[in-house]
Chains A and B, each alone.
Chain A
């Protein structure tokens, strides 16, 4: 936030060689603006005292924030933005970028190996299965967002369609499984055909493809009328659809259980073998001691597999004509149309594919939590996934994965840092600041590195030799 407000006064500073007066004046103006921006909302807090609204004052916080901004601005004006400073010679890529390029071939396999071995590391590190529960839960959460990020990446990163209602497909997937697995007629029907225990043990595995297919279908139904719209309109309409689905889930109480949601959704099984302590259970059959952690570790591998399927499909699709059409569409829609591409179909395929992966992730969410409610599918989730895609670099698989891990894992780590509590007092909860940081990071990344943190991108097509394309050389068409 400090950086955010430090910019407005613009590059007025220092025209002559004695830059100090100019820098001081500029810093003063910045401070004035910062005071105007922060003063009302940070300086006063509305508090309810005895049922009536009153004000609490926080002049110290404002003073500190404005002080930081003024000092920062002054220092920047005298050093980095100083007109006397010789311009930096830009010869090739920076050493950091070269370093990243050098290790990048080893990065992906290393990351994959870490992801596969993570449950074992976690168990070893914490010294026991049940102690590693927290880490495994965190791993599942991160991988869910990696998968959602990769799914949305198809729509936003590859096809260049801004989808603000991605959470709708996540919700469709989750509710498909929740409703199918808990509805009596469906259960009776399949139990009669397949046998009662068989259906009970296999429900998740039958519903998973159904959830994906259903979400993809919804993607088509919603996408078809709106995909002819231009970019910004599409974003708003997808946002509206996301909200409509959530409102319907809340208000259609007979069908979806309303705001209370659906509870006691059947658990996942190890391909038909339930994770129970009984004789047919997973532990007994494999000769292990029963532990509820087996199910969690299995779930970890399920979401890892689902995420990898998403990544693999995307990589393969990019090599097919449809994938090339997506990327061409992102670069220049009018050129695509003049070359005879049916843009509506191309967009629709991207939209439906992205939606399908959202549906898979939603189905997984339902089986992991055992409970779904509309509260889990708010606009915040859409915004979070979009932030992950944007920060990771639209179109970059590895970037999205890293961004998801940093955003979800980093916030979780921050929560446990004791010294933050000592600085800011006991009531400090970093998770409150998560969305604040997400929003700020989205703005910052658009301004400084619009290609995302991992901005180099593998070219889809190349002649003889595959050269990495630096982000600064790729420029998108101005639509």
Chain B
């Protein structure tokens, strides 16, 4: 199959492109920077409708991963990339025939803990520009999709080379600013990048043979929830660090998040209210429907993920030494 992957320079995007290429699909990647996936790169900006349409030509499916992920993006950027970009993908998909749209569970986050829930409807009520723009984009997909469309919401994707979860934890640790709300007790579902990618590949296949499950969001996780503290410790250990974190009461973390999130000079504040709340409330999901719909199950549990992360760090260190 000929597939266009948008946003393949990200960890998840490049993993998806590689998995597709490995099984023999003809993959082309659309993003601003080279993807280093070994696939055909079509460089361009998702805000450029014409460029995207040209890249999509001749493909049978689009997997749309390109998005602006930042702690506090400017609304105009978030809207142009996440909502506008998705609108362009929807237009381009008409000629391709299939679409896999990657959303996020944050679209349904409303300051309450999720304890084994299924995917809920997207809301625009969040204060966070990223979550709001992704909610808008998902709703746009639901309203305007004209080809079989799979909507997947992978939760907290991590793995070797991940700049989001792993990268931020290590960065904070280096700065000595690793603070977790309430001893990091919140139970969080995460998704190892290989699993998130294989779920997307499974979703692509299912758009072909199960149109009845299209047009309905599915949360995708590794189905192995752990307390935040355990995740952070595991990642630090995998990176060869033996550092402890500090704990602050969750309301205090939220308070700091609110202030820092507003006043920080650039669009990457170390903490926002949204992030503070997400890290102090549990997020784990009922995966039974997802597994049945995608005919897919995660293969990498959290401990196996730590192990893979550890050996990757070891290889990185050796490279650096050489």
Physical interaction between A and B? no
Using a CB–CB distance below 8 Å, which chain B residues touch chain A?
A: none
Using a CB–CB distance below 8 Å, which chain A residues touch chain B?
A: none
